[in-house]
């Protein structure tokens, strides 16, 4: 006898939102995760009052009021605004690319001055139909910004030449002719007061969750527990890599506790230069305006992915997308398995997009 309506594989945002909504509709869910905790990559570890984003910094932002209201059911959000800075060849620049950045690069003080430099560079180096990240960046912002703040960061982040990467990655970054260092264009932004764990706890309240369970180690028995499966893990692994593995980028985090109040004055400092082996240093307390006497910093080192490592980023170039389409064709033949999330959809999703997608899929399912 099947004990559950849904076995949800993966207790990240997609799985947790799905479980929450299905449970609310009277369905019985079991959520499993191979890690020792729920929360997926938004999980935080509290170290003497500082929420350490264990799997990389997460800043919530959305333009969608429904999604904003949805997360606000579980936690109140603070007014943190992400304004990273980047260090390149010994100089510090504001991000995203805005009037402050242009002043720091060229000394330009007005939008006309900055625009004229950028437009000249776009005319000289840009492309009508940019086919890769380098061509896209040159066409969007010109050569100086590309060479000072994008090229080396990007190539170390992805372990590939910017000419081998998809253009869409760089479209994430705004270009502005105002003195506005807000990294996001979205209407709503912040960090949940009390940390992301509060949101996950709220979503999974009253739902059976089992951690330290690897679905692939006991697939047959686990699958027999429920009528349907919601799978949020790696799509290629689900099909035993039958078309070969998709490529991912992994990360290694090096955490250090420092007995001082403030190390870098900002939550996020990027390091563009290729001789610096990490892409950024996160100082977690600044996400929550922490006043502790100590601080925790994390250096983020991009790494080549292998099957034993965490798959953080899908590498959505043409080769991988073609392979993903083969796997996707198999998923459409499944009647009892629902696929969702960054790994199962092989998509560079942000948190708000995952939530929207989970809500949409669960709604469709329950109808
Ligand atoms: N990027 C860059 N320079 C920077 C920050 C980002 O060139 O200082 C590029 C890089 O290609 C990166 C992409 O923009 O992969 C998206 O960066 P973001 O910080 O938005 O993504 P995250 O890694 O936080 O998901």
CATH number at residue 59: 3.40.50.720
ipTM: 0.99
Given 138, 171, 204, the domain boundary residue is 171
As a whole number of angstroms, the longest Cα–Cα distance in the chain is: 72
Atom of ligand 1 nearest to the CA of 154: 11
Note whether 227 and 336 are same-domain residues. yes
- Which of 161, 154, 163, 171 has the alpha carbon at shortest distance from 132? 163
Note whether 33 and 160 are same-domain residues. no
Q: What is the pLDDT of residue 2?
A: 82
* Ligand 1 centre distance from Cα of residue 272 (Å): 10
Q: What is the pLDDT of residue 174?
A: 87
Q: What is the mean pLDDT of each run of 10 residues along the chain (367 residues)?
A: 93 98 98 98 96 98 98 98 98 98 98 98 94 96 97 97 94 90 97 96 98 97 97 98 96 98 98 98 98 98 96 95 98 96 97 98 97
Instruction: Note whether 135 and 171 are within 8 A (CB).
Output: no
Q: What is the pLDDT of residue 29?
A: 98
Q: What is the pLDDT of residue 1?
A: 65
Q: For residue 221, how many C-alpha atoms fall within 13 Å in the half-sphere facing its CB?
A: 4
State the catalytic residues.
Answer: 172, 176, 249, 280, 300, 348, 350
What does the alpha-carbon distance between residue 250 and residue 116 come to, in Å, rounded to a whole number?
Answer: 39
**Helix, strand, coil proportions of the chain in percent (round to 5)?**
35, 20, 40
Note whether 132 and 31 are same-domain residues. no
What b-and-e string marks burial along 319-332, b requiring 16 or more CB atoms within 10 Å of the CB?
A: ebeebbeebeeebe
**Does residue 352 belong to any structural domain of this protein?**
yes
* Ligand 1 centre distance from Cα of residue 138 (Å): 15
CB atoms within 10 A of CB 363: 11
Note whether 26 and 142 are same-domain residues. no
Task: Quote the domain boundaries for residue 324.
Answer: 4-78+188-246+315-366
Note whether 232 and 345 are same-domain residues. yes
Nearest CA to ligand 1 atom 15: 154
Note whether 120 and 163 are same-domain residues. yes
**Does residue 195 belong to any structural domain of this protein?**
yes
- How many structural domains compose the chain? 2
Note whether 231 and 334 are same-domain residues. yes
**Does residue 283 belong to any structural domain of this protein?**
no
Mutate to test the pocket of ligand 1, among 96, 145, 150, 158 (most ligand atoms within 8 A of CB): 150
């Amino acid at each position: 006898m099947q004990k559950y309506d849904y076995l949800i594989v993966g207790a990240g945002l997609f799985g947790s939102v799905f479980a929450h909504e299905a449970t609310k509709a009277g369905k019985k869910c079991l959520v499993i995760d191979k890690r020792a905790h729920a929360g997926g990559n938004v999980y935080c570890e509290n170290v003497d009052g500082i929420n350490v984003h264990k799997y990389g910094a997460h800043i919530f932002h959305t333009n969608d009021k429904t999604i904003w209201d949805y997360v606000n059911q579980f936690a109140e959000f603070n007014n943190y605004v992400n304004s990273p800075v980047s260090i390149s060849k010994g100089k510090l620049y504001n991000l995203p690319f805005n009037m402050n950045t242009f002043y720091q690069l060229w000394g330009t003080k007005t939008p006309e001055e900055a625009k004229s430099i950028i437009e000249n560079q776009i005319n000289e180096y840009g492309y009508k139909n940019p086919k890769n990240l380098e061509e896209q960046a040159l066409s969007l912002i010109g050569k100086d910004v590309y060479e000072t703040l994008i090229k080396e960061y990007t190539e170390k982040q992805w372990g590939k030449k910017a000419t081998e990467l998809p253009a869409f990655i760089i479209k994430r970054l705004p270009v502005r002719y105002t003195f506005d260092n807000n990294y996001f264009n979205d209407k709503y932004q912040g960090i949940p007061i009390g940390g992301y764990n509060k949101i996950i706890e709220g979503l999974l309240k009253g739902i059976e969750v089992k951690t330290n369970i690897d679905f692939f180690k006991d697939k047959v028995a686990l699958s027999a527990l429920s009528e349907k499966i919601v799978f949020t893990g790696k799509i290629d692994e689900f099909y035993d890599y039958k078309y070969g593995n998709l490529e991912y980028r992994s990360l290694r985090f090096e955490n250090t506790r420092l007995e001082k109040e403030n190390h870098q004055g900002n939550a996020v400092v990027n390091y563009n230069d290729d001789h610096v082996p990490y892409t950024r240093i996160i100082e977690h307390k600044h996400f929550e305006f922490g006043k502790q006497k100590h601080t925790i910093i994390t250096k983020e080192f991009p790494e080549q992915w292998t099957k034993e490592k965490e798959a953080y980023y899908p590498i959505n170039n043409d080769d991988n997308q073609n392979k993903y389409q083969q796997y996707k064709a198999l998923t459409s033949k499944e009647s009892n398995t629902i696929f969702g999330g960054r790994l199962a959809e092989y998509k560079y999703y942000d948190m708000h997009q995952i939530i929207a997608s989970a809500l949409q899929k669960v709604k469709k399912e329950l109808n």
